[in-house]
């Protein structure tokens, strides 16, 4: 089909002849309907008539009838949609080859918008995985660095099932191609090596390449897991595959018919799973050492810990386990980073860890049921040695009293760069304590305050902290009940700030009343690169003011405005300004 001089059947006759094949294999029609409507080959009433039809096969039959009634151009465009969105209509790709379909020049000039849930979810995964894997923590420089700046190729030797060497790996692509050397089918690939040789970084590089479509593979979904997560599951706990996939990775959007999950179960060869830290699924060594009661063994174990950072997130650690952990760590002389996010440490566990806390450079206890009494312990111990650089306390039960103690840590610890204290119980009172401490700090780099109740009073305090601040680069005040009055103060203060790069004000109550103030901030052209105003109350009038100011700014990369009070038609007004993001 499509070769000059050949007699070829019309697209209309093809739809008639292959009608039953199309009815049985065409499972998702929303993308087809969207494009036919956009091309004005169907009207809204006809689209609604198809959608009202009772079953999927009958919907396809109704759609075919309407398309064939519209004539040859509509029939050709219908087939072209199936051809252009191949991942969404994978069942029909053999049929397209069977009829030797080649699109004509006329139909190729027509746009096809991929609104299919499967393709949308694949794109969403790529965006999120790209964001999650683009940076790695550089412990030498104590900051996040772009992956490509630090990553170096890892030397990997290949072995077959008989443990016979097959030589060395040339590129990461050889892991997943049809002739993948780890096994002939390329189904399971197991990477082993000593601690610290770069297994996790190699996996991160592979994930990052996939997100950029630079990995030689035809998989369209990637699900990444940390194996230590599975230790949190109880033996009696039951979890479905759907929950496992979408609870620990991003969820599909606008997929009422579960097309994404059906696709995954029907085409598993199109899905890539990665599991990091398989060797971490093991018995609790520290508890065994603690139960011996032998300090000599504990000291020897502490001396043998060569890593500078221990990650125990999602490990179902309880307060009693902290006693065993401290039994070993208190004998360590070198500085140490400890991540115990998403456990059940509680205030008692923090007290058990007290002798080890003063040596810690990274302290992460997010989601651990901590109250203000834990802040007393942390403030006392961390302010002794003043070596802490990262403090993670997100999603606990910290009130203004605890915030005052955290402020003390910020003031007295000159190396502290990152503080995450979002989703606690902090009001404007606690916000003022923290803002005043941040204002005095010359090292603070990243502050996360989202999900508290700072309100405008807290915003006023943070505005003063921002003015002329020398080091603060990332700040989140999202979901804090800040209105336009608070927005005015923040935007005004930022005109006197050259350090802030990323500012999150998502899910507040900002409206057009402060739009002109943010427009003036944009015109000032400070170093701000990312401004997130998602889920506020700006209308098209307020957005116009921002759009008018953007040409005068060469630093801002994006202003994110999804979820404000604009209709899709009003959003079209700003389609030429690519830095205004509505999706």
* pLDDT for the residue numbered 291: 45
Task: Clarify whether residues 429 and 504 are in a common domain.
Answer: yes
Task: Clarify whether residues 347 and 365 are in a common domain.
Answer: no
Per-residue pLDDT tens digits for 186-203: 467 777 766 567 778 888
What's the CATH number where 199 sits?
3.40.50.300
Rounded to whole angstroms, how far apart are CA atoms 460 and 323? 42
Tell me the percentage of the chain whose pLDDT exceeds 70.
86
Residue 532 inside a domain? The answer is: yes
Task: Clarify whether residues 152 and 264 are in a common domain.
Answer: yes
* pLDDT for the residue numbered 5: 39
* pLDDT for the residue numbered 467: 95
Rounded to whole angstroms, how far apart are CA atoms 415 and 435? 17
Q: Express the helix, strand and coil content of the chain in percent, nearest 5 each.
A: 45, 10, 40
Q: List CB contacts of 243: < 8 A, sequence separation 6 or more.
A: none
Given a contact cutoff of 8 angstroms between Cβ atoms, the answer to whether 1 and 84 are in contact is no
Task: Clarify whether residues 402 and 535 are in a common domain.
Answer: yes
Q: What is the rounded average pLDDT of the residues 216-230?
A: 82
Task: Clarify whether residues 150 and 266 are in a common domain.
Answer: yes
Per-residue pLDDT tens digits for 364-381: 999 999 999 999 999 999
Alpha helices in 219-318 (DSSP H): 241-247, 259-266, 285-292, 295-304
Which range has the top average pLDDT, 133-142, 266-275, 566-575? 566-575
pTM recorded for the entire structure:
0.55
Per-residue pLDDT tens digits for 423-465: 999 999 999 999 999 999 999 999 999 999 999 999 999 999 9
* pLDDT for the residue numbered 156: 76
Task: Clarify whether residues 104 and 166 are in a common domain.
Answer: no
Residue 76 inside a domain? The answer is: yes
Q: List CB contacts of 115: < 8 A, sequence separation 6 or more.
A: 30, 31, 34, 35
Task: Clarify whether residues 407 and 390 are in a common domain.
Answer: yes
Q: Compute the mean pLDDT over every residue in the chain, rounded to the nearest whole number.
A: 85
Task: Clarify whether residues 544 and 410 are in a common domain.
Answer: yes
* pLDDT for the residue numbered 334: 84
Q: What is the rounded average pLDDT of the residues 310-320?
A: 80
* pLDDT for the residue numbered 7: 64
Which range has the top average pLDDT, 49-63, 218-232, 294-308, 539-553? 539-553
Given a contact cutoff of 8 angstroms between Cβ atoms, the answer to whether 476 and 450 are in contact is yes
For residue 392, what are the domain limits? 332-342+356-581
Task: Clarify whether residues 380 and 525 are in a common domain.
Answer: yes
Rounded to whole angstroms, how far apart are CA atoms 22 and 17? 10
Q: What is the rounded average pLDDT of the residues 337-357?
A: 91
Rounded to whole angstroms, how far apart are CA atoms 202 and 211? 14
Cβ-based burial of 321 (10 A; exposed 0-12, middle 13-18, buried ≥19): buried
Q: How many residues appear in the chain?
A: 583
| Cα–Cα nearest to 258, from 246, 244, 274 | 246
Residue 261 inside a domain? The answer is: yes
Residue 5 inside a domain? The answer is: no
| Banded pLDDT at 520 (limits 50, 70, 90) | very high
Q: What is the rounded average pLDDT of the residues 517-534?
A: 95
| Least confident residue range of 173-177, 222-226, 394-398 | 173-177
Task: Clarify whether residues 387 and 471 are in a common domain.
Answer: yes
Which range has the top average pLDDT, 122-126, 178-182, 218-222, 400-404? 400-404
CA distances from 531 to 53, 146, 444, 506, 509 (A): 45, 21, 19, 9, 15
Per-residue pLDDT at 566 exceeds 90 = yes
* pLDDT for the residue numbered 465: 97
Single out the residue in 91, 115, 139 at which a domain terminates: 115
Task: Clarify whether residues 85 and 155 are in a common domain.
Answer: no
Residue 163 inside a domain? The answer is: yes
* pLDDT for the residue numbered 141: 44
* pLDDT for the residue numbered 388: 97
Q: Provide the number of structural domains found in the chain.
A: 4
Residue 569 inside a domain? The answer is: yes
Task: Clarify whether residues 236 and 369 are in a common domain.
Answer: no
């Amino acid at each position: 089909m499509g070769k000059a001089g050949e007699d070829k059947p019309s697209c209309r006759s093809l739809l008639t002849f292959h009608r039953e094949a199309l009815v049985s294999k065409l499972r998702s029609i929303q993308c087809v309907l969207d494009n036919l409507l956009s091309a004005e080959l169907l009207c809204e009433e006809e689209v609604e008539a198809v959608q009202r039809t009772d079953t999927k096969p009958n919907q396809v039959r109704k759609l075919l009838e309407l398309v064939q009634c519209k004539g040859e151009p509509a029939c050709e465009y219908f087939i072209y949609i199936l051809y252009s969105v191949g991942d969404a209509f994978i069942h029909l790709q053999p049929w397209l080859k069977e009829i030797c379909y080649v699109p004509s020049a006329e139909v190729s000039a027509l746009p096809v918008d991929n609104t299919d849930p499967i393709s949308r979810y694949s794109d969403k995964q790529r965006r999120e995985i790209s964001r999650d894997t683009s940076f790695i923590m550089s412990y030498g420089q104590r900051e996040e660095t772009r992956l490509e700046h630090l990553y170096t190729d890892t030397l990997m030797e290949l072995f077959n099932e008989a443990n016979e060497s097959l030589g060395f790996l040339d590129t990461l692509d050889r892991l997943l191609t049809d002739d993948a050397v780890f096994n002939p089918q390329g189904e399971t690939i197991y990477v082993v090596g000593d601690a610290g040789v770069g297994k996790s970084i190699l996996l991160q590089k592979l994930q990052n390449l996939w997100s950029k479509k630079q990995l030689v593979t035809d998989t369209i979904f990637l699900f990444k897991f940390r194996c230590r997560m599975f230790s949190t599951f109880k033996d009696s706990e039951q979890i479905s595959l759907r929950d496992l996939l979408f609870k620990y990775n991003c969820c599909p959007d606008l997929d009422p018919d579960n097309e994404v999950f059906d696709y995954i179960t029907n085409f598993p060869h199109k899905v890539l799973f990665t599991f990091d830290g398989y060797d971490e699924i093991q018995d609790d060594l520290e508890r065994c050492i603690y139960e011996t009661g032998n300090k000599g063994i504990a000291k020897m174990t502490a001396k043998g810990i060569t890593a500078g950072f221990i990650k125990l997130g999602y490990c179902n650690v309880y307060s009693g386990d902290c006693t065993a952990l401290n039994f070993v760590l208190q004998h360590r002389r070198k500085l140490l980073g400890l991540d115990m996010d998403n456990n059940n440490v509680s205030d008692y566990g923090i007290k058990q860890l007290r002798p080890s806390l003063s040596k810690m450079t990274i302290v992460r206890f997010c989601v651990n049921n901590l109250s203000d009494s834990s802040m007393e312990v942390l403030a006392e111990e961390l302010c002794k040695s003043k070596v802490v650089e990262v403090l993670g306390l997100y999603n606990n039960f910290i009130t203004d009293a605890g915030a005052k103690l955290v402020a003390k840590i910020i003031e007295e610890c000159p190396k502290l760069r990152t503080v995450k204290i979002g989703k606690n119980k902090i009001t404007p009172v606690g916000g003022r304590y923290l803002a005043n401490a941040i204002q005095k700090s010359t090292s603070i780099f990243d502050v996360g305050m989202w999900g508290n109740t700072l309100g405008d009073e807290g915003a006023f305090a943070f505005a003063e902290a921002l003015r002329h601040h020398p080091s603060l680069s990332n700040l989140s005040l999202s979901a804090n009940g800040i209105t336009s009055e608070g927005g005015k103060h923040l935007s005004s203060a930022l005109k006197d700030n050259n350090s802030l790069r990323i500012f999150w004000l998502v899910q507040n109550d900002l409206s057009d009343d402060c739009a002109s103030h943010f427009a003036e901030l944009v015109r000032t052209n400070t170093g701000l690169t990312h401004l997130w105003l998602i889920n506020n109350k700006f209308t098209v009038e307020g957005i116009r003011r921002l759009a008018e100011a953007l040409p005068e700014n060469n630093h801002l990369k994006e202003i994110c405005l999804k979820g404000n009070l604009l209709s899709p038609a009003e959003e079209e007004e700003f389609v030429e300004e690519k830095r205004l993001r509505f999706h």
